């Protein structure tokens, strides 16, 4: 995969979950699937934690205003779990136990195909095993130019202000020639702060006023208009 682009090129930074794949069942089941997978992964890593304990840790984190993105983040920060190992093992379990409950969003993929002049870079908090599993199942001639599993290099879209400058430097591109596509508004604020156009994709409307689209083809048209 290419890791350098020209300053005149256009680049899409794209999150993964909520864009390329979506749960077939109700969103609330995502937490249940994830807790089961983390519990199984912790046992395989020799530090078993029950689902009940995971729920307790999650509820306490949210009540205290920490608002961690995932239960893995809590286990890493509070219980010193090794994040790459826990994240990778968790997503192996998700694939093997719950993979049938997810599906490719081919409408989103088709919308990306309407933007052939843009490089497409996946920028995700998920591990590579999860990304590659689903990309291999996309039945379209879509080229992904690179994958950045941002937490494996110690960065975070939500909380680390070095994340987006790192991406601009890595791909040698100006902020105005990029777009960050996310389904989680909190992950867009740091991009917006350095003038990367922020776009929300999914059923939610961004409270901060970022352009928000539930229709991927309307999203693609918006990107064409700003570039």
Query: Distance (Å, rounded) from C-alpha 56 to C-alpha 163?
Result: 30
Low-confidence winner among 13-27, 91-105, 153-167 (lowest mean pLDDT): 13-27
In this prediction, residue 5 carries a pLDDT of 42
Maximum CA extent, the chain: 52
Is the pLDDT higher at 212 or at 227? 212
In this prediction, residue 16 carries a pLDDT of 95
Is the pLDDT higher at 157 or at 7? 157
Phi-psi region of 126 (alpha: psi -120 to 50; beta: other; left: phi over 0): beta
Instruction: Answer for the pair 54, 131: CB distance below 8 angstroms, yes or no.
Output: no
Is the pLDDT higher at 78 or at 199? 199
DSSP character string of the chain: ------TTSEEEEE-SBTTTEEESS-TTHHHHHHHHHHHHHHHHTT----HHHHHHHHHHHHHTT---SSHHHHHHHHH---HHHHHHHHHHHHHHHHGGGEEE-HHHHHHHHT-TTEEEEEEESS-HHHHHHHHTT--S-PPP-EEEEGGGGT--TTT-TTHHHHHHHHTT--GGGEEEEES-GGGTHHHHHTT--EEEESSSPPTT---EESSHHHHHHHHHHH-
> Could you identify the residue written with the tokens 């306490």?
60
pLDDT category of residue 6 using cuts at 50, 70 and 90 = very low
In this prediction, residue 86 carries a pLDDT of 96
pTM above 0.95, yes or no: no
């Amino acid at each position: 995969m290419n890791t350098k682009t020209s300053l005149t090129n256009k680049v899409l930074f794209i999150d993964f979950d909520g864009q390329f794949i979506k749960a077939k069942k109700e969103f609330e089941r995502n937490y249940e699937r994830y807790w089961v997978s983390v519990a199984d992964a912790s046992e395989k890593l020799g530090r078993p934690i029950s689902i009940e304990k995971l729920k307790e840790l999650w509820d306490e984190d949210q009540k205290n205003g920490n608002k961690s993105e995932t239960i893995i983040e809590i286990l890493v920060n509070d219980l010193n779990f090794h994040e790459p190992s826990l994240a990778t093992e968790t997503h192996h379990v998700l694939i093997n136990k719950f993979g049938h409950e997810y599906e490719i969003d081919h409408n989103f993929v088709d919308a990306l195909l309407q933007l052939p002049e843009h490089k497409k870079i996946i920028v995700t908090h998920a591990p590579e095993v999860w990304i590659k599993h689903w990309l291999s199942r996309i039945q379209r001639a879509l080229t992904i130019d690179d994958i950045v599993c941002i937490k494996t290099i110690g960065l975070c879209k939500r909380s680390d202000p070095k994340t987006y400058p790192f991406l601009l430097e890595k791909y040698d591109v100006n902020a105005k020639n990029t777009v960050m596509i996310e389904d989680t508004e909190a992950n867009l604020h740091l991009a917006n702060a350095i003038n990367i156009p922020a776009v929300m994709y999914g059923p939610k409307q961004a409270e901060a006023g970022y352009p928000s689209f539930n229709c991927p083809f309307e999203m693609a048209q918006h990107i064409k208009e700003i570039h």
